Amino acid sequence: MSGEATTGGGLTAATGVAGRYALALVALAEEVGALDHVEKDVVTLRDTLKGSADLQRLVRSPLFSIEDQLKGLEAVFGGAGLHQVTVNFLGVLTQNRRLSALGRIADSFFAILASKRGELAAEVTSAVALSEGQMEAVKGAIKQAYGRDIQLSAKVDPALIGGLVVRVGSRMIDNSIKTKLNNLKIAMKEVG
């Protein structure tokens, strides 16, 4: 990940707005003894955001007022049983007009937790959603290569056509068909 920094205690986290908000959320959740609950909440937030184009528009569009965003969040997450820390955090993001960073904040949050737990955060991007078995296979291969437990997140990018892009920390392994075709195209131009 670009822009990584190490904070006290060997904790690695993304810098920038998303990293700062994620660090604050982890610290507050730990302070009130609700880290496990807040972690589940962030999974809910991330998964709901990924699965809803309407929610993505709500959090990303500057055309929605703060009041409209707060009402929208209440409508979507009101019955989700979110911890008060998470609810307050969403309120702060909305008031500060940082709700558009929610996806990046979630990614940073999980990277921070992985680091605190001695795990390695990794991300796999594929052209289609991977099955549970495929995710476990990728996780196992990364664990074998790095010798550490892995916290793996997945993204789908149909533009890859096929193959995988695996990112572990700042290292990226791109075995996508898109990249292979681009490399072939460049090689053909050099020959001609």
The tens digit of pLDDT for each residue in 82-97 reads 999 999 999 999 999 9
Residue range 121-147: mean pLDDT, rounded: 93
E strands of the chain, at which residues? 4-7, 11-14, 120-126, 150-156, 163-168, 171-176
Q: What are the two backbone dihedrals, phi and then psi, of residue 191, each rounded to the nearest 5 degrees?
A: -70, -40
124-149 core/surface letters (b: 16 or more CB in 10 A; e: else): bbbbeebeeeebeebbeebbeeeeee
What pLDDT score was predicted for residue 190?
84
Q: Does domain 4-112 have CATH number 1.10.520.20?
A: yes
What pLDDT score was predicted for residue 4?
39
Tokens describing residue 94 = 């909305």
Residue 170, pLDDT > 90, answer no
The pTM assigned to this predicted structure is 0.73
Q: Which part of the chain is CATH 1.10.520.20?
A: 4-112
Q: Which part of the chain is CATH 3.40.30?
A: 119-191
What pLDDT score was predicted for residue 3?
38
Q: Domain 119-191, what architecture?
A: 3-Layer(aba) Sandwich (3.40)
| Count of beta carbons in the 10 Å neighbourhood of residue 23 | 19
